[in-house]
Amino acid sequence: DTVRASTKEIVMKIFTPLGAWVIGTRLRKKSGSSWQGKVVGYYSTELTEVGYCIESEREPGSVQIYPASALEPVETNIDGSDK
């Protein structure tokens, strides 16, 4: 079955990070609409060399993709609350 063979050829699992942040790192968008969560995957396109799949902390199961340049780490205070 040709379709199945073609699909298998383009599917690729990425086991190492494409950029600086590993799976589980807490990130948020730098500007615009807010989105905060943890890295659950990576992507790369012709226009975006390194991108991250971020699962929302506020809406579990909801994932958005963003280029690395749009994200920053979530810093925490000594008491554990977000800065």
User: Is 36 assigned a catalytic role?
Assistant: no
Among the listed residues 29, 36, 38, 43, the single catalytic one is 29
Among the listed residues 42, 52, 54, 66, the single catalytic one is 66
User: Is 52 assigned a catalytic role?
Assistant: no
Residue 40 contacts residue 54 (beta carbons within 8 Å): yes
Among the listed residues 23, 38, 43, 65, the single catalytic one is 65
User: Is 65 assigned a catalytic role?
Assistant: yes
Distance from C-alpha of 64 to C-alpha of 60, rounded to nearest angstrom: 11
Residue 4 tokens, joined: 């199945």
User: Is 29 assigned a catalytic role?
Assistant: yes
Q: So which residues are the catalytic ones? A: 29, 64-66
